[in-house]
């Protein structure tokens, strides 16, 4: 495992900035630091070689600032101040306000540019309204959402262009902008105020909430009554955001608390202890964002701004990224190879398994590998009914007679929840199927509560399930039942207890 803590790679001090907000542009070239008197534009490729300033005349601090995330609009950024949002245009070394958005009657709490539509910006306010603006016509909002209670956070979904989430004290509301009259879902997420929201970068139904109640909670908003997992912390959590790589999460504590100035990097598959700590700031971290990767580089850079008036840039190399991968322990693949699988019984060749046979050579090795990863006990329904053409059909053909295994399937949301109880071990997983599945697109597997196996067991199991599913989908074959069989047989090999019923 890599060093458990590190210091920054670049430190730049802006003693006079007194900035309360920071944003990094989508090209990874510039950062904006937002103070009451000036906006500082910093060249991230040469942060020590001076910076440009945009003067502003206001008695109000800037509450939130964000660059437009689309390359074609990369020179625009939005900054909120009291009840107004100013849209700035930065080009050729000069910046100016090109228009303002005015509609809220109380202070604006948050803003967020749309992920899929470069002209759309959403704002939230204490006045209980959430406004969606089209910057081509800024006279009034194009969509108005009324939440009764004031909103402190608003974030667009990263996979669904119509979906967004807002936080209201300890609650979360999920909205569809096409149905603005009422929220489509409601989560009683925390008993204390929510400070941060972040959508999962790959799963449109999953989000993380960070709160004053000393915890980060992970949610599937289709199951609003129970969180998927929880990260307990000793102090209130200011922000928790997913990393752009692997399965990482970065947390930072509430700014009012001066005793914790570090950023922590976690692997969401093992929340017992952080995999890395970024140490260097002398005061609380106010903002952190990711810089776009440079072409040809595998490294990422984390950019942070603190009340100590320093901008710091931290290099995240491939070794550190690997700590956030599924196979988090060294040697996992070697351990996998030693796991015994149930013997393959004689079985009728299925239509989807029909492929030219090779007498010898590499083809035989591939075929043996395929057999090794295939499910040991194949149900007979697919023989009779043929290859499933849809996820609905695959669900209907699943052998539900596997003892101690329970599968809750939802074809509409393209997901299922798998629960296995074997010996003293419990495993519960959320399986998500992409739209292209099974055409060379594998499902994703995520552990949810209550799961009692260790982190090393989780890593081994995820490796098995990933290999099994990939072997199937690369031939455009369905993989759920083979994965279920491998899940159970692997648990048996660990526990030494047979907990599936074998076909006669």
| Band (174; pLDDT cuts 50, 70, 90) | very high
**Residue 101, beta-bridge partner list:** 85
Mean pLDDT score of the chain: 83
Q: What average pLDDT does the segment 47-66 reach?
A: 90
- Please give the pLDDT value at position 241: 97
Residue 151 has pLDDT above 90, yes or no: yes
Pairwise pLDDT comparison (338 vs 14), residue with the higher score: 14
Q: What average pLDDT does the segment 387-398 reach?
A: 75
- Please give the pLDDT value at position 92: 83
Q: What average pLDDT does the segment 384-410 reach?
A: 72
Q: What average pLDDT does the segment 216-238 reach?
A: 93
- Please give the pLDDT value at position 129: 96
- In sequence order, the 6+-apart residues with CB closer than 8 A to the CB of 317 are 298, 299
Between β-strands 263-267 and 276-278, what pairing exists: parallel, antiparallel or unpaired? antiparallel
- Please give the pLDDT value at position 496: 63
**pLDDT tens-digit map of 274-324:** 999 998 888 889 999 999 988 888 899 999 999 999 999 999 999 899 999
Residue 482 has pLDDT above 50, yes or no: yes
Do the Cβ atoms of 366 and 358 come closer than 8 Å? no
E strand spans, 337-443: 405-410, 415-422, 425-432
Closest CA to 301 of 309, 311, 310, 289: 289
Do the Cβ atoms of 267 and 245 come closer than 8 Å? no
Residue 120 has pLDDT above 60, yes or no: yes
Residue 106 has pLDDT above 60, yes or no: yes
b vs e for 339-377, b when ≥16 Cβ sit within 10 Å of the residue's Cβ? eebbeeeeeeeeebeeeeeeeeeeeeeeeeeeeebbbbb
Tell me how far apart the alpha carbons of residues 406 and 393 are, in angstroms, rounded to a whole number: 18
- Please give the pLDDT value at position 258: 57
- Residue 173 tokens, joined: 């509301």
- Please give the pLDDT value at position 405: 84
- In sequence order, the 6+-apart residues with CB closer than 8 A to the CB of 181 are none
Half-sphere exposure of 112 (CA within 13 A, CB side): 24
Q: Is 5 helix (H, G, I), strand (E, B) or coil?
A: strand
Residue 413 has pLDDT above 90, yes or no: no
Residue 31 has pLDDT above 90, yes or no: yes
Residue 353 has pLDDT above 90, yes or no: no
Residue 344 has pLDDT above 70, yes or no: no
Tell me how far apart the alpha carbons of residues 251 and 249 are, in angstroms, rounded to a whole number: 7
**Residue 111, beta-bridge partner list:** 123
Do the Cβ atoms of 306 and 281 come closer than 8 Å? yes
- Please give the pLDDT value at position 2: 32
Residue 259 has pLDDT above 70, yes or no: no
| Band (6; pLDDT cuts 50, 70, 90) | low
- Please give the pLDDT value at position 499: 44
Residue tagged 């996820």 (tokens): 391
In Å, what is the CA distance from 161 to each residue of 69, 118, 157, 164, 498? 14, 11, 7, 8, 46
Between β-strands 5-6 and 276-278, what pairing exists: parallel, antiparallel or unpaired? parallel
Q: Give the best-scoring range by mean pLDDT among 216-225, 261-270, 405-414, 457-466.
A: 216-225
Residue 351 has pLDDT above 60, yes or no: no
Kindly state the DSSP code that residue 352 receives in the 8-state scheme: G
- Please give the pLDDT value at position 279: 87
Residue tagged 């996992």 (tokens): 332
| DSSP run (H or E) holding 143 | strand 143-146
Residue 159 has pLDDT above 50, yes or no: yes
**Cα angle 353, 358, 359; round to 5:** 135
Do the Cβ atoms of 231 and 271 come closer than 8 Å? yes
- Please give the pLDDT value at position 400: 66
Q: What average pLDDT does the segment 59-78 reach?
A: 96
This prediction has a pTM of 0.67
- In sequence order, the 6+-apart residues with CB closer than 8 A to the CB of 338 are none
Q: What average pLDDT does the segment 238-246 reach?
A: 94
Tell me how far apart the alpha carbons of residues 70 and 103 are, in angstroms, rounded to a whole number: 25
Tell me how far apart the alpha carbons of residues 386 and 376 are, in angstroms, rounded to a whole number: 19
Choice among 65-79, 249-263, 324-338 with the minimum mean pLDDT: 324-338
Give the torsion sign (CA, 134, 139, 144, 149).
positive
- Please give the pLDDT value at position 422: 80
Residue tagged 């850079």 (tokens): 301
3-state secondary structure 232-268: ECCCCEEEEEECCCCCEEEEEECCCCCCCCCEEEEEC
- In sequence order, the 6+-apart residues with CB closer than 8 A to the CB of 24 are 30, 31, 44, 67, 289, 290, 291, 303
Closest CA to 484 of 342, 365, 367: 342
């Amino acid at each position: 495992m890599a060093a458990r803590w590190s210091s920054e790679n670049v430190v730049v001090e802006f003693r006079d900035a007194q900035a309360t907000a920071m944003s990094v542009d989508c090209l990874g070239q510039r950062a904006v630091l937002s103070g009451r008197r000036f906006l500082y534009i910093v060249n991230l490729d040469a942060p020590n070689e001076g910076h440009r300033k945009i003067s502003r005349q206001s008695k109000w601090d800037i509450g939130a600032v964000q660059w437009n995330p689309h390359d074609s609009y990369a020179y625009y950024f939005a900054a909120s101040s009291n009840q107004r949002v100013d849209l700035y245009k930065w080009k050729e070394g000069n910046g100016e306000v090109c228009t303002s958005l005015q509609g809220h009657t109380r202070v604006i709490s948050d803003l967020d540019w749309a992920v899929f539509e470069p002209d759309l910006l959403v704002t939230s306010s204490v006045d209980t309204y959430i406004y969606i603006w089209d910057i081509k016509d800024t006279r009034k909002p194009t969509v108005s959402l009324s939440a009764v209670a004031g909103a402190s956070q608003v974030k667009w979904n990263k996979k669904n262009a119509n979906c967004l989430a807002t936080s209201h004290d300890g609650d979360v509301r999920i909205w569809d902008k096409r149905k603005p009259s009422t929220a489509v879902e409601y989560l009683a997420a925390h008993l204390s105020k929510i400070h941060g929201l972040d959508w999962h970068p790959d799963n449109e139904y999953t989000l993380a909430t960070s709160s004053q109640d000393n915890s980060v909670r992970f949610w599937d908003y289709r199951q609003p009554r129970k969180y998927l997992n929880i990260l307990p912390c000793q102090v209130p959590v200011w922000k928790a955001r997913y990393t752009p790589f692997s399965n990482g999460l970065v947390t930072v504590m509430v700014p009012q608390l001066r005793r914790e100035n570090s950023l922590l990097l976690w692997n969401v598959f093992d929340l017992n202890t952080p995999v890395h700590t970024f140490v260097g700031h002398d005061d609380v971290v106010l903002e952190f964002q990711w810089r776009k990767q440079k072409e040809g580089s595998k490294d990422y850079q984390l950019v942070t701004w603190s009340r100590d008036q320093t901008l710091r840039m931290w290099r995240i190399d491939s070794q550190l990224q690997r700590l956030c991968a599924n196979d988090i322990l060294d040697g996992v693949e070697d351990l996998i190879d030693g796991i015994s699988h149930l013997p393959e019984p004689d079985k009728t060749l299925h239509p989807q398994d029909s492929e030219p046979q090779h007498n010898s050579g590499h083809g035989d090795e591939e075929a043996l590998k395929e057999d090794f990863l295939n499910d040991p006990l194949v149900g007979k329904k697919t023989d009779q009914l043929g290859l499933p053409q849809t996820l609905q059909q695959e669900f209907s053909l699943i052998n539900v007679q596997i003892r101690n295994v329970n599968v809750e399937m939802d074809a509409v949301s393209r997901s299922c929840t798998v629960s296995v109880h074997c010996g003293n071990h419990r495993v519960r997983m959320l399986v998500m199927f992409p739209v292209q599945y099974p055409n060379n697109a594998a499902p994703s597997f995520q552990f949810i509560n209550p799961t009692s196996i260790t982190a090393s067991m989780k890593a081994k199991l995820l490796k098995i399930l990933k290999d099994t599913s990939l072997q199937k989908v690369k031939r455009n074959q369905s993989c759920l039942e083979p994965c279920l069989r491998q899940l159970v047989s692997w648990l048996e090999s660990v526990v030494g207890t047979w907990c599936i019923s074998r076909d006669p």
